[in-house]
Structure 1
Amino acid sequence: MKFRVWAWALVCLCSMAVSPLQAQTPQPLDYIVAVVNSDPITNQEVQLEVKRVALQLAQQGKPAPVPAELRRLVLERMINDRAQLQLARETGIRIDTPAIDRAEQAVASQNQVDVAGLYERLAKDGVSVATFRDGLRDQLMLNRLHERDVEATIKVSDVDVDRAMLEQQAANTDPFTFDINLAQILVAVPEKASPEQAAALFVQAQKLLERIRGGEDFDRLVKEVSAADRSNGGQLGLRRADRYPPSFVLATQKLKVGEVSDIVRSGAGFHILKVVEKRPPSRLVQTITQSRARHILLRVTPQLPPAKAVAQLAEVRARIVAGKTDFATEARKLSQDSTAEQGGDLGWASPGMFVPEFEEAMDRLTESQISPPLISRFGVHLIQLMERRKVELSPQQVRESVRNQLRRSRYDEAYTTWAQDIRARAFVEMREAPQ
């Protein structure tokens, strides 16, 4: 939940940072439209927020409500935010300058600029740095308030987790998590077979399949014609489906026990597969995708500002891509990180192990691809994705994953109830436009 709230805030702030509609040009006849306890909301503030929300909806391809309704919704959200910010301040929530600095850096990274570049965009849009940082402070304060007063109240018992795990296990349709035993008849295709030879062998496999579907005994045909192991009726053994070739699993996933697949081609030849046994998983199985990447890190200093570090790594990247050097060599020479001796190798990493700006850039890469220079809170990086793999979670990790899913599913309802209570306790005075 924490990440979701922050991600939403970042989208809003990024829109604010780059949108020309946010320019704070003076508006004539500004007036107060609402007072939340003692905090006024002006017409100009509402207009700017309406423009920002309308632009954001357009960028996302979503239809905007009619102007009057959009203004009403925006004003109501602003009232809720003001009431919540007042509660945060009254109950001692404070945001220090380093936290604002980190949030500012995150927004800059999202926009692929350094902080100085972000300030330039703000200036072009008429947004002062002080106003922008105040907005960051407010959003961070709201995040901490929500963590304390909403997330902390969401309780998920072990019984809830057990029930959810059983439900997910019963609804599981992933064929690779089932235990299966397949038997096969193999019509072997020589490694250097010509297309004509392969076609003739395929016809042979088709005739065998027709005989099986016509009622002939599968086990007898295994003994007569299969080029694979003929013992035990050609059975390959009961095992988790992900230990079979994926083509075998996909060809048999919809078959019942005793049914026979269509012909499956592999490097060995043409296979006819029979489902001997199929068992659902005895426990809930979940997997995650791990990434193995390497990076070059240049730390930002007064002597090496972000723009200079970005330019240096862009040049390094161009030389690697051109084949004039390799990533590991450059990492050993340049990287100001403890992984430099290993050529920048970060090892296998699960989701959430790296800071968001780094992980988001890494997740966009395909294997062997190198990212453009990336600014993070630690400095400027060049990232190369080496490989990815799927890893099964341990039973305890699965329980925690399900528990977190339940917490996320209950967050919206808990937040709505809490926000309505804060709104009801606030004194809100709505004012009409002056005549």
Structure 2
Amino acid sequence: MKFIIRAMYLTALLTFSSWAQQVSLDRVAVIVDQGVILESEIEALVADVRRNAQNNDQQLPADRVLRTQAIERLILKNLQMQMAERMGIQVSDPQLEQTIANIAQGEGMNVPQLRDELSKEGMSYDDYREDVREELIIGEVRRANVRRRIYITPQEIDALVKLMDEQGAEQAEYQLGHILIGLPSEPAEDVIEDARSRAEKVIKLLNDGSDFARIAITSSSGSEALEGGDMGWLNINSMPTLFAEAVQGKDKGELIGPIRSGAGFHILKIKDTRGIEKVTVEEVNARHILIKPSIILSEDKAKEMLVKFRQQVIDGEAEFAALAKEHSDDPGSALKGGNLGWADPNMYVPAFKEALANLEPGEYSKPIRSSHGWHLIQLEDRRIDDATDKRKEDKASQLIYNRKFKEESEAWIREMRDAAYIEVL
């Protein structure tokens, strides 16, 4: 009996000791407003960066520097997740699974294959799912808060369209590396000079052959720091205006900077350049008659009506336009004799798009069922349209939006960070 009691005591002691050790390892490392960052989160992010660096044969800075960058990344994520909770933003499991399926498809895999790849890299699928969920939530928070800060004037669009016409700027894309020596919101003069001096030292190190990605991880305050400063491929009109002016006329491999902005001093490296092929799209000009089944009109009866209309038109007994005006349940096109005008077929629902793909100009479809009801379709013509010219204004608007969104995102994050209560324990 004494032996049993002693064994139970030792077991309890060991269990308490293990629990105490676990608590000491997974302590609160940072207080972020109403939330906290645990030591385990920092270690997990640092381990992930190390794993990616090893896979890419990339050197990393000292542990202290890497930890500081990881903490800053987690602070920003924590602040945005707290805002998402206040805004009630959530991502459902079906939406999450669909996103992961799309990611896997983009990599040429299915979800089970993606799980296997994650396992080989030492990452659990459950952790990956939650990372994707957080990215979706953070993206929605950012869009919701930044979108209302953006205003695009017609004059801006006109000016960009003119620039695109004159310079063909839409043809140029740059793969940029970015290092930001950051400044606070209202810096003193000595703080500015210190940042300028550090930026010039970084330029000297890079000119002397230091690795750009390693310096970015070590020194950059930019949002891409842990990715080695890689901004990816950017159209010259979608990057910040400051960068667009700086990279024009520069060649692959060139270093640019330091460039001063409100955020600090920027150093850029043109890692590569490429052009864009002219974009064309096939458009179709079609018309249709839509009959919607109802309590009064059955599915079979609706289909039979269109079979009858089709034969009448083919036999010359009726005009398609007249039938559409009299019978079509699509009010937008009925008044125009069923005409839908020139359009990209991808804008139509799948069944309608598929029917158009199988028609020759002038041909009538058999009645087809879509989510809207039963359709009789005539393809009037096809054409290859120069999408570059047709969509120039839309493209200019989107490019300006993307540029302003990036600029305003950085400003919004900086303001949120400055207003937050942060305590590193």
Structure 1 length as normaliser, TM-score? 0.41
Q: Which has the higher contact order (CA 8 A, sep 6+)?
A: 1
Q: Structure 2 length as normaliser, TM-score?
A: 0.42
